[in-house]
Amino acid sequence: MSRRYDSRTTIFSPEGRLYQVEYAMEAIGHAGTCLGILASDGIVLAAEKRNTNKLLDEISFSEKIYKLHDDMACSVAGITSDANVLTNQLRLFAQRHLLQYGEPIPCEQLVATLCDIKQAYTQFGGKRPFGVSILYVGWDKHHGFQLYQSDPSGNYGGWKATCIGNNSSAAVSMLKQEYKEGETNLKQALDLSIKVLSKTLDTNKLTADKVEIATLTRENNVTCIRILPTSEMEALVKKFEEEEAKAEAEKKKDKPSS
Amino acid sequence: MSIMSYNGGAIMAMRGKDCVAIAADRRFGIQAQTVSMDFDKIFEMGPRLYIGLAGLATDIQTVSERLKFRVNLYELRENRRIKPKTLLSVVSNLLYERRFGPYFIEPVIAGIDPLTLEPYVASCDLIGCPMVAKDFAVSGTCSEQMYGMCESLWVEDMTPDQLFEAISQALMNSVDRDALSGWGAIVHIIERDRVTTKTLKTRMD
């Protein structure tokens, strides 16, 4: 029955739903996982790399993590071509703000501006919505470190830790249990992101080449957006595996053998 | 009254051996009245790339901001630092877009290519005609004096210290012969691994 209401974005269904928007979110649920964790001294952004074909040529900066301006970066889940269009728009907005006001755009304003554009595609024009959810990490002088998430409906929210893409609900519930507000520093956030990603990845084992991690920190009043090199990634994965092995051994010790 | 001499100013850039230097006076004046002695006319567009703008002060500020807009987007999209000669093309394009209502500025670019590490000095006229120089580039209300001083003092393959002396003497003596330029000077010496900035105390008149 709902078939009648899903071909055009500009109509509601009788139950008050926008099917095109929901279908767009479906598309994102199949995309590579991205998660963000806010720490006291920085933010971690981790993304699952799906394009691990050996024939693919080396990518310049990153496959899923985009720098937006000096103080903000984002990661996307969904249709990559839609994501490229949106990140280009985000970069233009940020520069126009800088040109007009002489200071960097506050994080929430940039997110809200893009979300207004995304919302327009759900109300008029007859074009389909963008099939991308975006996680934004940034710093501004008003609110410090911030993490935002936006989706195809144009809705956005500020988060302490969140996840988008494949198995995101499992990741979010894990983060809800493990994230300690006010007590997490960058190192702990990195460890936690590896732990959560290893549970949500499709493949059995987490390796450094399947994941991309970026951190945003402030050093000497300058924002530093850094993609972790493979060596650091491998060290983190190794540390995680050692802790897992230890936890397994502890469990075995506690259980008396029958 | 010429628009280019409403605010006054002087910019000079020189090429040395594996280094470049760019210098400017610091006066901001409105015709005969001096308003400020710490007006910046040289702007950083990259770790070893500077552009100096001479001419109408409002256009100096507007063009530097619009140029930074374009350079920021370039660096985000290309994911690398802009080369000096590409910056020259961007400036030339920006200025020619206003061919029939131009920005009243004449830019001077000095920098070191991020990959080849070659020193680079270039300038443009107010509608974007690019001119790459192998020795020096000057622009401002005392450009004739600056051409004379540079021609006399510039030699090929100067070391950073020699280059600093040459550009400082050339700029100082040129602006001292110009009523609308002076009130201090700032010099940036750009080498492969560092940039040194020095301020000069000139005749404060």
Its ipTM equals 0.85
* Predicted local distance difference test score (pLDDT) of residue A207: 85
Q: How many helices (H) and strands (E) does chain B have?
A: 4, 12
Residues A200-225 have a mean pLDDT of 88
> Residue B86's Cα: distance from chain center in Å?
16
Residues A27-46 have a mean pLDDT of 94
B69 and A95 in contact by Cβ < 8 A?
yes
| Nearest-angstrom CA–CA distance, A222 and A71 | 8
A172-176, A186-190, A248-252 — which is least confidently predicted?
Answer: A248-252
B69 and A69 in contact by Cβ < 8 A?
no
pLDDT range class, residue B116, cuts 50, 70, 90: very high
CA atoms within 13 A on the CB side of A143: 12
pLDDT range class, residue A2, cuts 50, 70, 90: low
Map residue A122 onto helix, strand or coil.
helix
Chain B contact present for A92, CB below 8 A: yes
In B, residues 78-97, which contact A (CB 8 Å cutoff)? 79-80
pLDDT at residue A120 is higher than 80? yes
Predicted TM-score (pTM) of this structure: 0.89
- Map tokens 């020096």 to a residue: B136
Chain A contact present for B196, CB below 8 A: no
* Predicted local distance difference test score (pLDDT) of residue A115: 96
What CA–CA distances, in Å, run from B46 to A79, A249, B40, B73, B133?
34, 53, 16, 13, 20
B72 and A98 in contact by Cβ < 8 A?
yes
Neighbours of A48 (CB within 10 A): 25
pLDDT range class, residue B96, cuts 50, 70, 90: very high
Chain B contact present for A58, CB below 8 A: no
* Predicted local distance difference test score (pLDDT) of residue A5: 64
Amino acid B187 reads V
B73 and A102 in contact by Cβ < 8 A?
no
**For B70, which residue in chain A has the nearest alpha carbon?**
A95
Chain A contact present for B134, CB below 8 A: no
Cβ-based contacts of B68 with chain A (< 8 Å): 98
| Nearest-angstrom CA–CA distance, B197 and B190 | 9
- Map tokens 């850094």 to a residue: A226
Smallest Cβ–Cβ distance between B76 and the set A91, A96, A99 belongs to A91
Map residue A44 onto helix, strand or coil.
strand
Chain A contact present for B72, CB below 8 A: yes
Kindly state the percentage of chain B with pLDDT values over 90: 99
- A148 against A121, higher pLDDT: A148
> What is the average pLDDT score of chain A?
89
**Residue of B190, B149, B167, B204 whose CA lies nearest to B12:** B167
pLDDT at residue A252 is higher than 80? yes
pLDDT at residue A1 is higher than 60? no
Residues A83-107 have a mean pLDDT of 95
DSSP class of residue A13 equals -
pLDDT at residue A9 is higher than 80? no
pLDDT range class, residue A3, cuts 50, 70, 90: low
pLDDT at residue B93 is higher than 70? yes
* Predicted local distance difference test score (pLDDT) of residue A209: 83
Neighbours of B115 (CB within 10 A): 8
What CA–CA distances, in Å, run from B95 to B29, B63, B115, B123, B136?
24, 9, 27, 12, 21
Q: How far is A86 from chain B (nearest CA, A)?
A: 13
In A, residues 208-237, which contact B (CB 8 Å cutoff)? none
A91 and B77 in contact by Cβ < 8 A?
yes
Smallest Cβ–Cβ distance between B76 and the set A67, A98, A99 belongs to A67
A95 and B77 in contact by Cβ < 8 A?
no
pLDDT at residue B163 is higher than 90? yes
pLDDT range class, residue B26, cuts 50, 70, 90: very high
Strands B42-46 and A156-158: unpaired
